[in-house]
Amino acid sequence: MSISNYAVKRQFTGFSLTVTPTLKQQMLNWANQFNICCFMDNNNYPASLHSYETLVAAGAWKWVKLTAGNAFCTLRAFYEHQADWLFGHFGFDLKAETESVPTALPDRIGFPDCYFFVPEHLLLLQDNQVLISSYSADPEKLLLSIINSHEVNQSEADCPVKLQPAMGKDEYINKVNALKAHIHRGDCYEINFCQEFFASPAEINPVKVFKRLTEVSPNPFSVFYKIEDVYLLCASPERFLRINAGSVWSQPIKGTAPRNTVDPNADAELARLLAINSKEQSENVMVVDLVRNDLSKFCQPGTVHVEELFGVYSFPQVHQLISTVKGELSPGMNWIDAVQQSFPMGSMTGAPKRRVLELIEAYEKARRGIFSGAVGYCTPEGNADFNVVIRSILYNQTKKHLSCLVGSGITWYAEAEKEYEECLLKAAAIMETVSGKV
């Protein structure tokens, strides 16, 4: 852990210019020159869902790297001391701290359990305006250097990658049936069960691969996140928590159907059938109940409610069933309390949460790490926004190990064969991306 002993008031300079895909790519190219960076983009989804269209944080002016045990307490002290913007992540294995369920599964990527940094340079894009703050450069000169930047030739190699499953189809089906037996015995009601697809050795150019991923699968919570030699290339459609002026939103996803991009009428029918699918609804409502319970731990009594139930949202590869739960923060609570009281998120665990986490440890084969965690930011005023890390590529450049985890919600009504097919559907965009065919 490294914590400096002073805080500086951050100032922003605004510039009016047309925000284009080319400009965003230049910003990503520039940010990737730093050992630490975070590029977040909503891919032109409705502005009402986000405070900013794009956020770019580059360089760690100050930082904190934590392991499960006392992470939230230390992060709280770091945030209060800095009184600044923070960017970073909560890894899934913080469950050892929040739910007393440690992990012994192998970790081949190496993201810390928790990492946050105060950016040296910060760019906020919204409504064709760029706000720039830098602790070490003149904002105008910084913008010119970004506009004139080219992709850093960190690696000429960008070889086609073929992902292989860490468990075969038969093993996956046997494990799903074993989990259903736990459900039948009353151990749990629903469990998010994940499997890994991986390639090793694999050589990719993370910037190029992220560009392809967001072209194939542009989603509203996309993130390019780099800590030294480990990368997250994320095309997430899901929000974990948003806090704005004391209001809290969580938008869990449970329920998936394929798209038909050839026939609009057939595609609309797939969406309609998803909306009325009792199996998918049962999965969704179980998670909604779990999220409502989590929010009630840090929200004012009587304020937690379901703002939208079973909303059907369409993304490039899939239709999803998304519900929105809202509440109002209790006095004295902040974004760190909110995460601590609700982590890991219900959509990536199940119910009851602690027992499900124990079963995840028993049946999955790889440590989730940053997958099923959350990446996002907070402001000095206490506003925050965090995604759910799904539909993602995890890459350790030194070890040349590339990983993609996908999961689905298992209930008593789940059919193992169909759950396996759902995993393949969710992984399709990533498999296409790393194959180099796009």
Helix (H) or strand (E) holding 227: strand 221-227
Alpha helices (H) in 86-168, listed in sequence order? 95-98, 139-147
Q: How confident is the model at residue 5 (pLDDT cuts 50, 70, 90)?
A: very low
The pLDDT of 425-435, averaged and rounded, is 88
The pLDDT of 186-193, averaged and rounded, is 94
Predicted local distance difference test score (pLDDT) of residue 350:
92
Set out the domains of the chain in order of their start, with CATH numbers. 13-434 (3.60.120.10)
* Signed CA dihedral, 290, 296, 299, 301: sign only: positive
Please give the Cα distance from 198 to 404 (Å, whole number).
Answer: 6
* pLDDT tens track for 348-370: 999 999 999 999 999 999 999 99
State how far the alpha carbon of 270 is from the alpha carbons of 67, 258, 315, 320, in Å.
Answer: 43, 7, 13, 11
* pLDDT tens track for 14-39: 999 888 899 999 999 999 999 999 99
* pLDDT tens track for 61-102: 999 999 999 999 999 999 999 999 999 999 999 999 999 999
Exposure string of 138-149, with b = 16+ CB inside 10 Å and e = fewer, is: ebeebbeebeeb
* pLDDT tens track for 199-216: 999 999 999 999 999 998
Please give the Cα distance from 395 to 170 (Å, whole number).
Answer: 27
What percent of the chain clears pLDDT 90, i.e. is strictly above it? 81
* pLDDT tens track for 117-174: 999 999 999 989 999 999 999 999 999 999 887 665 544 456 789 999 999 999 999 9
Q: Verify whether residue 254 is a known catalytic residue.
A: yes
Please give the Cα distance from 300 to 333 (Å, whole number).
Answer: 10
Predicted local distance difference test score (pLDDT) of residue 146:
92
Q: Is the pLDDT of residue 254 over 90?
A: no
Q: Is the pLDDT of residue 4 over 60?
A: no
Residue tagged active-site, from 254, 326, 353, 426: 254
Q: How confident is the model at residue 279 (pLDDT cuts 50, 70, 90)?
A: confident
Residue tagged active-site, from 120, 190, 196, 238: 238
Mean confidence (pLDDT) of the chain: 92
Q: CB-side exposure of 255: number of CA atoms within 13 Å?
A: 32
The pLDDT of 51-55, averaged and rounded, is 93
Tell me the residue type at 437. Answer: K
